Structure 1
Amino acid sequence: MNTFEQIISKVESYETIIIHRHVRPDPDAFGSQFGLKRFLQARYPEKQIFAVGEMEPSLAFMGTLNQVDDQTYQDALVIVCDTANAPRVDDERFNKGQVLIKIDHHPPVDQYAEINYVDTDASSTSEIIYQMIEAVDGLSQMNASIASALYLGIVGDTGRFLFNNTTPRTLAIASALLTYDIEHTALLNQLGEKDPHLMPFQGYVLQNFVLEDNGFCYVKITKDVLATYNVSASEASLFVNTIADLKGLKVWVFAVDEGSEIRCRIRSKGIVINDVAADFGGGGHPNASGVSVGDWDAFEQLATQLRAKAQ
Structure 2
Amino acid sequence: MNRFKQIEAEILAASNILITAHKSADGDSVGSSLGLLHFIEKLGKKATICHPDKAPDFLDFLELSSIIVMDQEPEKVTAAFQNADLIFSLDYNATDRVGKGMQPLLESATCTKIMIDHHLDPQNFASITVSDTSASSTAELIVELIEQSGNVALLDEKIGNPLYLGILTDTGSFRFNSVKPRTHEVLAKLLATGVKHHLIHELLNDTNTASRLRLQGFAMSQKMEIMEQNAVAIISLTKEELEKYQYKKGDTDSLANLALSIKGIKAAMVFSERDGIIKISFRSKGKDNPVNGLAANHFDGGGHANASGGMSALSMPETLDKIKGLVPEYFPVV
Q: How far 1:127 moved relative to its partner? A: 0.5
Residues 159/298 of structure 1: CA separation in 2 closer, same or farther (3 Å cut): same
Residues 259/21 of structure 1: CA separation in 2 closer, same or farther (3 Å cut): closer
C-alpha distance after superposition, 1:81-120 (max 9, x if no partner): 0012211125333343612111000002423212111000
Equivalence for 1:99: 112
On the 8 A contact 2:272/2:278 being kept in 1, the answer is yes
2:303 to 277, 281, 284: 284
On the 8 A contact 1:107/1:120 being kept in 2, the answer is yes
Amino acid corresponding to residue 15 of structure 1 in structure 2: S
Measure the CA separation in 1 of the matches of 2:145 and 2:324.
39
Equivalence for 1:177: 190
On the 8 A contact 2:234/2:269 being kept in 1, the answer is yes
Q: 1:3-42, aligned counterparts within 5 Å?
A: 3-42=3-42
Equivalence for 1:86: 95
RMSD of aligned alpha carbons: 1.7
Measure the CA separation in 1 of the matches of 2:323 and 2:7.
39
Amino acid corresponding to residue 211 of structure 1 in structure 2: I
Equivalence for 1:52: 50
1:232 to 248, 253, 257: 248
Residues 55/97 of structure 1: CA separation in 2 closer, same or farther (3 Å cut): farther
C-alpha distance after superposition, 1:35-69 (max 9, x if no partner): 1111110112xx22111123212212222234445
Equivalence for 1:74: 83
Measure the CA separation in 2 of the matches of 1:276 and 1:69.
34
Equivalence for 1:205: 219
Comparing 95-104 with 32-41, greater Cα deviation is found at: 95-104
C-alpha distance after superposition, 1:234-281 (max 9, x if no partner): 433343322221011101111101142100110100111111111122
Where 1:254 maps in the other structure, the secondary structure is strand
- Residue 258 (str. 1) matches residue 311 (str. 2): no
Length, aligned pairs only: 309
On the 8 A contact 1:80/1:89 being kept in 2, the answer is no
Q: How far 1:199 moved relative to its partner? A: 1.1
Unaligned runs of at least 5 residues, structure 1: none
C-alpha distance after superposition, 1:197-238 (max 9, x if no partner): 211111112203112212111000111111211113543334
Measure the CA separation in 2 of the matches of 1:227 and 1:63.
28
Measure the CA separation in 2 of the matches of 1:10 and 1:268.
39
On the 8 A contact 1:75/1:97 being kept in 2, the answer is no
Measure the CA separation in 1 of the matches of 2:78 and 2:110.
10
TM-score by length of 2: 0.87
On the 8 A contact 2:18/2:49 being kept in 1, the answer is yes
Percent identity, aligned pairs only? 28
Where 2:5 maps in the other structure, the secondary structure is helix
TM-score by length of 1: 0.94
Measure the CA separation in 2 of the matches of 1:211 and 1:228.
24
Residues 198/66 of structure 1: CA separation in 2 closer, same or farther (3 Å cut): closer
Comparing 88-97 with 21-30, greater Cα deviation is found at: 88-97
On the 8 A contact 2:50/2:77 being kept in 1, the answer is no
Residues 154/69 of structure 1: CA separation in 2 closer, same or farther (3 Å cut): closer
Unaligned runs of at least 5 residues, structure 2: 69-75
